[in-house]
Amino acid sequence: MEIGESSESPEGKKKSKSKTPRKPKDSVLKQKSPAEFFADNKNIAGFDNPGKCLYTTVRELVENALDSAESISKLPIVEITIEEIVRSKFNSMIGLAEHERVDEELYDDFESAKAREKRLAKEARIQEIQAKNANLGKKVKEPVASKAMKGRGETSYYRVTCKDNGKGMPHDDIPNMFGRVLSGTKYGLKQTRGKFGLGAKMALIWSKMSTGLPIEITSSMKGQNYTSFCRLDIDIHRNIPHIHVHEKQDKKERWHGAEIQIVIEGNWTTYRSKILHYMRQMAVITPYAEFLFRFLSDAPDKNVTVKFARRTDIMPPVPLETKYHPSAVDLLLIKRLIAETSKQNLLQFLQHEFVNISKSHAERLIGEMGPDFSHKMLVKSLTSQQIVRIHQLFRQAKFDDPSGDCLSPAGEYNLRLGIIKELHPDMVATYSGSAQVFEGHPFLVEAGVSVGGKDVKQGVNIFRFANRIPLLFEQGADVVTRTALKRINWNSYKINQAQDKIGVFVSIVSTKIPFKGTGKEYIGDDISEIAAAVKTSIQQCCTQLKSKILKRIQAREQQERKRNLSKFVIWLNGAIYDVLKEMSHLHASKRKRYTNEDAEVLNKVSNHIITRETLGEKLAQHVEQVDYEMALEYATQSGVNEEPRENIYIQTLEGESKFVDFQSPVFVFRLFQ
């Protein structure tokens, strides 16, 4: 052994090794596809947990079905079915054999003998206490179900099927429409129901992550003599469709639309109420649609079937794609518009690619840009510095606000019908405001306020809609919730905020909904234009309700007044008649003489022309007359018409007819030709 080796102890060697720094691995540049990104961050698209995944899948399919039918102005008929698939059935579907447990302690739901003994003892004590309370006549609480184990337990799978009568899909486009993330027909500046443009693609990604099963699409378009059938999944890493079957089949029935079927992991128990609540709110905002919802299970008592019938055949217009407002663009968008424009020179580009820029206005803008710009300069030749100059001028110059012609609100008429159809309130008021603008984007607020109704809790119940879709989550921070609870003085409108059943419905439509949070589930309270419009709309509804409530109060007071007067008529009648009878005796015995009208009345009493019964009838008639005159005077002073107004709903005629609709905010007059 060498001297150098013997001088170093083993402990010294260990120390020197620990101090030696590790050489870092060379970092490798990686790239993610859009599908991979959303698979890793599925909570962004509303796929937080199995229950929320089931809810979001239903929502995406229903909204796609409505868009498809509305795009061809067809009254939507949407059938949504959720079929529960237990694990054993799922395993047989994928060809996986059942396997008996060998090592029970390995599983998370294993219960030891000691734990089982402890649980049974606790249940016995609870039963004993309940028996004692029952004997003493005390209220017995329902037994609380035993807590689930900490593991995920028995996984449930669901086959979700959605069928509509919409436009259908072109045969060759189906794979890319479902198997390629961030590709679709809804991109552009217009009012859309979608939040991310993912639609059923995110449901397919979740299906691939949770079950590995493909999606099945059946589609048929008008005029086609075949039906398209496609079974596919998605290559997440490459963001391309993986096609299993894509074929044309014989068309067996005269049907157009799409039927989508997908199997996913989910949790119906925890999100049952949310899904049904969503369907109910969708029926409120789209009363012109017919929904059939079914939940099917092997246990018959768990089955659910709910039909939301159509109430009207008046559909809102299809949203129109619009151009960008100069104040709402950024540098990147200007560059994209330049790259995509078909216009040659700068003057034509400004005039045709943006709203509210006329030819004369465009000429003035170009003159303000500086000597480096001219009307006929090629728009494709603009340098980066010149594009920055255009952007700066757009931010500083004054432009007219964009109009709301491109928006498609539900309509005050439809909103009122939807509220009445689903809630059956005692009274309801609706209001539709005019189009307003924030950050260059037009928006419009519609509101409805109802009092009373079925399945409505006491207090203020908030129903929020954005681009005609319900918002069910993160309600507390929403502009509608904060306005309804904190900025409306309900007492001033004769509405009791704590005891009355109040429904507040607010629908906001825009080419850009300013959602907050990653899930896009609420609209922030920081945009003053939207907050003011929401408050005004709710106040207008409350003002309408106040007049109705005052009329009810007046009618109630009138009935009370009449009841009190009628109560004393019997006693007054007897007392007055006895006095008249005594006076008639004095008059007849000439002890006291009465003249003129008094004598005539007393003679009628003596001759039994005026009896106790006839006097009672006259007094009752007088009470009625005085009551009517007082009510009429009150109505005149308060500006209420004498004749009460009632809502009248005319049912649509069967069969197809030619007609012209004359629409107003509160009714539709249909003239048949």
Structural tokens at position 237? 């890493």
pLDDT at 546 over 80: yes
Q: Is 186 annotated as a binding residue?
A: yes
Cβ within 8 Å of residue 136, ≥6 positions away: none
Residue pair 291/317 in contact by the 8 Å Cβ criterion: no
pLDDT higher at 373 or 189:
373
Q: Residues 597-607: what's their mean pLDDT?
A: 78
Rounded distance, CA 190 to CA 205, Å?
A: 27
pLDDT at 581 over 90: no
Rounded distance, CA 511 to CA 513, Å?
A: 7
Rounded distance, CA 479 to CA 482, Å?
A: 5
Rounded distance, CA 288 to CA 313, Å?
A: 5
% residues pLDDT > 90 (the chain): 34
Structural tokens at position 349? 């580009």
pLDDT tens-place string over residues 261-301: 999 999 999 999 999 999 999 999 999 999 999 999 988 88
Rounded distance, CA 547 to CA 602, Å?
A: 49
Cα maximum dimension of the chain: 163
Judged by DSSP in three states, 180 sits in coil
Exposure string over 37-51, b if 16+ CB within 10 A, otherwise e: ebbeebebbbbeebb
pLDDT tens-place string over residues 481-513: 999 999 999 999 989 988 999 999 999 999 888
pLDDT tens-place string over residues 340-349: 888 889 999 9
Residue pair 506/534 in contact by the 8 Å Cβ criterion: yes
> How long, in residues, is the chain?
673
Q: Which of 64-68, 147-151, 514-518, 549-553 has the lowest mean pLDDT?
A: 147-151
Q: Is 195 annotated as a binding residue?
A: yes
pLDDT given for residue 144 in this prediction: 54
Q: Is 197 annotated as a binding residue?
A: yes
CA 267 to chain centre: 22
pLDDT given for residue 153 in this prediction: 45
Mode of pairing for the β-strands spanning 156-163 and 215-220:
unpaired
Structural tokens at position 324? 């960008």
pLDDT at 11 over 60: no
Q: Residues 524-549: what's their mean pLDDT?
A: 91
Closest CA to 190 of 510, 553, 617, 610: 510
Rounded distance, CA 165 to CA 139, Å?
A: 53
* Triad 160, 165, 166: Cα angle to 5°: 100
pLDDT higher at 478 or 661:
478
pLDDT given for residue 150 in this prediction: 42
pLDDT at 323 over 70: yes
pLDDT given for residue 88 in this prediction: 82
Judged by DSSP in three states, 645 sits in coil
pLDDT tens-place string over residues 415-456: 998 899 888 898 999 999 888 888 888 899 999 999 998 888
% residues pLDDT > 70 (the chain): 84
Averaged pLDDT of the chain: 83
The beta strand positions in 103-196, using DSSP E, are: 156-163
pLDDT given for residue 543 in this prediction: 93
Q: What DSSP assignment string belongs to 499-540?
A: TSEEEEEEEEEESS--EETTTT-EE-S--HHHHHHHHHHHHH
Start-to-end CA span in the chain (Å): 116
CA 373 to chain centre: 49
Closest CA to 168 of 74, 58, 239: 74
pLDDT tens-place string over residues 168-217: 999 999 999 888 887 666 566 777 886 556 768 889 999 999 999 999 99
Q: What are the φ and ψ backbone dihedral angles of 613, each rounded to 5 degrees? A: -70, -45
Structural tokens at position 361? 């206005």
Cβ within 8 Å of residue 647, ≥6 positions away: none
Rounded distance, CA 75 to CA 160, Å?
A: 23
Q: Is 201 annotated as a binding residue?
A: yes
pTM given for the model: 0.76
Rounded distance, CA 663 to CA 145, Å?
A: 55
Q: Is 198 annotated as a binding residue?
A: yes
Q: Is 639 annotated as a binding residue?
A: no
pLDDT tens-place string over residues 138-178: 765 655 555 444 444 456 899 999 999 999 999 999 999 88
pLDDT given for residue 5 in this prediction: 46
Q: Is 200 annotated as a binding residue?
A: yes
